[in-house]
Amino acid sequence: MQITGAEIVVRCLQEEGVEFVFGYPGGAVIEIYDAIFKQSQFRHVLVRHEQAAVHAADAYSRSSDKVGVALVTSGPGATNAVTGIATAYLDSIPLVVLSGQVGTPAIGLDAFQEVDMVGITRPCVKHNFLVKDIAELATTIKKAFYLAKSGRPGPVVVDIPKDITQQLHAFSYPQSMSVRSYVPVTRGHSGQIKKAVNLLAGAQRPLIYIGGGAVQGNAADEVRELVQSLGLPCTNTLMGLGAYPGSDRQCLGMLGMHGTYEANMAMHYCDVLVAVGARFDDRVISVPSHFLSQPKKIIHIDVDPSSIAKRVKVDIPIVGDVKLVLRDMLEQWRQAQLSLDAGALAGWWKQLEVWRSHDCLRFAPSETLIKPQFVMQKLYEVTGGEAIITSDVGQHQMWAAQYYRFDQPRRWINSGGLGTMGFGLPAAMGAQLANPYATVACVTGDASIQMNIQELSTCKQYHIPVKVVNLNNRYLGMVRQWQEMFYGNRYSETYMDALPDFVKLAEAYGHVGMRIEHPGDVEPALREAFAMKERLVFLDVITDQSENVFPMVQNGKGLNQMDLPPHMGDVQDVPFENNRDYGNMC
């Protein structure tokens, strides 16, 4: 039996077990929408802007480990999706984005709503396809799902011309897929793993550095076993939060530009570092030469060989699926009956506790002004640390990352790589749909929320009861912080004049809006909001405008040269430059 290309698309999505398609119709995909109308196996979620469709599909994937699917029309529909695709690419999120294209005879003729989607997205996808023959449609979609999910995951775009969706062809879906030019590595090299465990066994000051790859690779159990069975300290990157429980004593907290004092000092002064699905990016290690100026041996586990030795030369590269590599490491460790130097490890922990004792995330409470950190602490308490938190980009993102202790993976959902403002609200939608019984909150700011605020309408249509916590400081806070610190308080274009009344706006969209202006009201308001399980509640929290995110590693500085919060001003071990001899520190 022959069916249309549009029906083939729908059948492929059904075969893949897709639950939700996030999208927006248009001329080039109208046939596909007609086929969607006639089926009931998966649900379509109509967003209000294509960028939001991709972010929602992205967070659906991040919070569920399934492939996210978005569907957009040609031209502006496709270009609107690009920011979402790039966001997923930078964070290695498996997505299949189906875009409509003008009919094949019209391609290249500057037709109405024509854009070279394959060309535009080429640098920000794992792979992309233009389907030119209906006979290849099903195979191409199968290949897209396979590529998106395997190896280092990423977004795959399938651009489908309108005439292909109208032609007739028999449907047959391949059960398995292999691509001769694409063979991702799974198991790590056992010789390399042997070298790694031996190096680790000789460590005096070991540290496990856990990135987003541990989350995407579902390696949380293995990470925990490695850290706990060996008694090692560890630190999570912004993307790795939750891969090791943030509330556990062996976790030093997040590292990097706004990481904790203890995590950054440990990262700088460790002697054997095990990087698990992390990529030494500029917001984490800052300047590579300074990072390496303190001698250390590095073991780097990553599924993508090109992530290894990109910014930092490593001593033992291990290419493989992090979960499998960690299992093999633990196995080899046990078989060889290795052990760490207990005395050295105890000394290292003593130093780590000294660093931790400075309590770098302490902030001065206020009776009158709401401190954003305080809101995050209360959010953590009120939700029992069990919520899925999505965030936008800026100061609020860093405070959420610092003060919400994620004990499980896939609960912290943010745009770490691309830093996309406007990510938070559509991400919350995707996360809530993937986890209908979970508590989902979007931590945002007055600037970020306005970049996709139209999605409040989508939330209304589909009864998505997320809680929006808007840390409203009437500024583009992170840029303002930089302007205060590095640009002589010249707040160029960072003051958000003429902000809307967010409470009325939320109400206009049919939701509950609450404004919180006094510190004493924060906790009761959060409790009230989270008790409304069926409603979207928009909490407009008016916060202290002058608050800055600390600790901070300035651009060009090293991890041990942090700007620290005021209460740490008299810390004697900062900076460490005059105390380079590690032996004196313990």
Q: Which two tokens stand for residue 234?
A: 């560890």
Q: Judged by CB under 8 A, which of 40, 178, 181, 492 binds other proteins?
A: 181
The nearer residue to other proteins, 86 or 203, going by C-beta atoms, is 86
Contact (Cβ atoms closer than 8 angstroms) between residue 217 and residue 358: no
For residue 562, indicate whether it is catalytic: no
SS3 readout for 297-362: EEEEEECCHHHCCCCCCCCEEEECCHHHHHHHHHHHHHHCCCCCCHHHHHHHHHHHHHHHHCCCCC
Q: How far is the CB of 54 from other proteins (least distance, A)?
A: 20
Q: What x-and-dash track marks residues 107-126 binding other proteins by CB under 8 A?
A: -----------xx--xx--x
Q: Which helix (H) or strand (E) holds 30?
A: helix 30-37
Q: What x-and-dash track marks residues 323-352 binding other proteins by CB under 8 A?
A: ------------------------------
Q: How far is the CB of 480 from other proteins (least distance, A)?
A: 32
d(CA 427, CA 57): 8
d(CA 399, CA 363): 12
Q: Using the CB atoms, write b or e for 372-407: b if 16+ within 10 Å.
A: bbbbbbbbbebbebebbbbbbbbbbbbbbbbbbebb
The nearer residue to other proteins, 226 or 278, going by C-beta atoms, is 278
Query: Is the alpha carbon torsion for 32, 34, 40, 46 positive or negative?
Result: positive
The nearer residue to other proteins, 127 or 189, going by C-beta atoms, is 127
Stretch that binds other proteins, among 94-102, 192-200, 306-314, 331-339 (CB under 8 A): 306-314
Q: Which two tokens stand for residue 180?
A: 């001769």
Q: Judged by CB under 8 A, which of 168, 170, 179, 346 binds other proteins?
A: 179
The nearer residue to other proteins, 147 or 158, going by C-beta atoms, is 147
Q: Which two tokens stand for residue 342?
A: 């207990």
Stretch that binds other proteins, among 180-188, 254-262, 438-446, 506-514 (CB under 8 A): 180-188
Q: Of residues 478, 514, 552, 562, which has the active-site annotation? A: 478
CA proximity to 264, closest of 244, 246, 286, 245: 286
Tokens 């060989």, located at residue = 305
Show contacts with other proteins in window 545-564 (CB under 8 A). Answer: none
The nearer residue to other proteins, 318 or 434, going by C-beta atoms, is 318
3-state secondary structure of 473: coil
d(CA 181, CA 171): 26
Q: Which two tokens stand for residue 388?
A: 């899925």
Contact (Cβ atoms closer than 8 angstroms) between residue 234 and residue 243: no
Q: How far is the CB of 101 from other proteins (least distance, A)?
A: 14
For residue 112, indicate whether it is catalytic: yes
306 binds other proteins per the rule CB under 8 A: yes
Q: Of residues 15, 19, 42, 113, which has the active-site annotation? A: 113
DSSP-derived secondary structure letter, 188: P
Task: Report how many residues bind other proteins under the rule CB under 8 A.
Answer: 18
41 binds other proteins per the rule CB under 8 A: no
304 binds other proteins per the rule CB under 8 A: yes
Stretch that binds other proteins, among 267-275, 300-308, 363-371, 427-435 (CB under 8 A): 300-308
Q: Which two tokens stand for residue 515?
A: 């404004």
For residue 331, indicate whether it is catalytic: no
d(CA 468, CA 123): 33
Continuous H helices in 182-256: 190-201, 212-216, 220-230
For residue 113, indicate whether it is catalytic: yes
For residue 363, indicate whether it is catalytic: no
Q: Of residues 162, 323, 371, 467, which has the active-site annotation? A: 162
Q: Judged by CB under 8 A, which of 44, 66, 127, 189 binds other proteins?
A: 127
310 binds other proteins per the rule CB under 8 A: yes
Q: Applying CB under 8 A, which residues contact other proteins?
A: 118-119, 122-123, 126-127, 130, 147, 179-182, 304-306, 309-310, 313
Catalytic positions, written as ranges:
50, 112-113, 162, 478
